Structure 1
């Protein structure tokens, strides 16, 4: 049997419960993974709370799009993998049915990559969603280049911290935006060229000050909400790009009047494309090997403490990734 987190109704973290289910066998082109650790994402919270961007199947819905572990069973036609291989999950588009909050998961073999050498399970669980989202938006979608000034909102989130590191790996200049001055030091230590604290800084003025008046080449926004129009004013007129990758603020976002390019980025655009996944994996593996990329862990819980992990996520004070070990 395998322990699995499920919920029968949406609501507070207490709707989550752990049950025992039979361990499934992989199909012909599938692998079964013995999960070692999972990453907790804001999307998990939204689905659990009833704010899913798409309908979910209930009761007995599952959660989770991120995990790492070892292969413990192979489908009949799977090639290139062996039992015992350490892997990272790259996409679970149907989390309510096959979510990763479990001791075992079965996935198509093309939905995993090799775990980068040197990463333990906790760090590997914090890698894929944050870094593939930041890489996909900045490199694949908006073609970030060396020398670009990149304004990054929610910079202490796992995606924000990944974006800072990836910008530095490319040779761009990351400008971090945070609400709290207490997070300044860790953002600078992560590699931010400057930190803009919205509690007492004007984002537009500060961005222009740090870019010699030009404005940001790229704005990477995980927040949305009413502040979106102001962020657009921080970008370079005409040549600047604002790319949104999240919606931490559920309030309506006004359409900016600034003459810039706006892009709504969804990571499945690339994580469901095997060719793009290979590019992302190569980039991340190289960054891990050289030390340019290093996942930031906020806290670690056990599967038995999944409710506490979700409460911690809802408080919104974390810096980096919340990880649950199995």
Structure 2
């Protein structure tokens, strides 16, 4: 019997999208506490671009896989895993070290604690487009921010998958979302996706528009993945005693701390990543149930970018993500 193989994406050095290589490798077997997923679709995330470049929270160990989110069917289980998982349709939760596990490929080995069934009304493309964005938004807005009816929430980089998830979540909790986008190209789409207000930052003064929308009070919660010098404007736009949640570092420039604004307004500026939730089983369980229920009843609907890619086009998919043209999740099918 010939050895079985599978096509898996790896990279052997950090760099641009072209370092990603689709390689034919022996079919991997799951170890204790692991499963093998036959992948149907992969959802891309900014973290994976940063990881590929060597700019992420952890460094790759070469040759390195990549990827946090995939949907598919469980086709093999390792020691200690309930065999009832075999044949189940599921997707991966980004709750594992990306430098140990990766999901870009025809198959993926992942720990069972990072596998979850998703509502049957979702397609594989939608199933791979839920956990990173909705769990990230839940941890920031529901657990930390405790968003409530009438709260103004400023959401930057709002056309990202996490940004759109945040818009939906603020609406579900009765808050008022103020979405930002750099150009007017995405304004109408963001309004159609449920944003209550949209600020085009290349054309409008962010703080002035937020104060106008909030009748001078400012936003109680700011949800920002960019940081950089823009943090000063976000502080100006935040309400007295407000909360700024920084969950990313997309800006290339340093991030100055807006000391005097923070002092005068008694601001809280808090760093946050999804792994804060993933490290706590109770929070993870609550978040998973919250997201599952809202997906099942239609409150949440994953927005997938119109442009689709196949696994053989992973380099093009990463290039497209870096172009910032997408609205919602970039999905790669297998």
TM-score normalised by the shorter chain: which range applies?
over 0.9
Counterpart check, 1:317 vs 2:325: yes
Aligned to 2:35, the other structure's residue is in SS state strand
Distance 2:54 2:30 in 1: 31
Q: Which runs of 5+ in 1 are unaligned?
A: none
Give 1:285 shift: 1.3
Residues 1:279 and 2:286 are matched in the alignment: yes
**SS of structure 2 residue aligned to 1:95:** coil
1:64: how far off?
0.5
SS across alignment from 1:94 = coil
- Distance in 2, matches of 1:96 and 1:280, equals 24
Secondary structure class of the residue paired with 1:175: strand
- Give how far 1:125 is off: 1.2
Stretches of 4+ aligned residues off by more than 4 angstroms: none
Mapped contact 2:177–2:195 kept (Cα < 8 A): yes
Give the structure-1-normalised TM-score: 0.96
For the aligned residue pairs, the C-alpha RMSD in angstroms reads 1.4
In structure 2, distance between residues paired with 1:176 and 1:68: 29
Q: How many residues align?
A: 324
Q: Secondary structure at the match of 2:39?
A: strand
Aligned to 1:117: 120
TM-score, normalized by length of structure 2?
A: 0.93
Matches within 5 A, 1:52-131: 52-58=56-62, 60-79=63-82, 81-131=84-134
**Superposition pairs of residues 264-303 of structure 1, within 5 angstroms:** 264-298=271-305, 299-303=307-311
2:144 is equivalent to residue 141 of structure 1: yes
Corresponding residue for residue 186 of structure 2: 183
Counterpart contact for 2:77–2:83, Cα < 8 Å: no
Supply the distance in 1 between the matched residues of 2:44 and 2:301 (Cα, whole angstroms): 17
SS of 1:165's equivalent? helix
User: 1-side partners of 2:94 and 2:16: how far apart?
Assistant: 25
Q: Tell me what 1:44 maps to.
A: 48
Distance verdict in 2 for CA 1:69–1:208, change over 3 Å: same
What SS is found at the alignment partner of 2:100?
helix
Q: CA deviation at 1:274?
A: 2.5
- The Cα of 1:287 is off from its aligned counterpart by 1.2
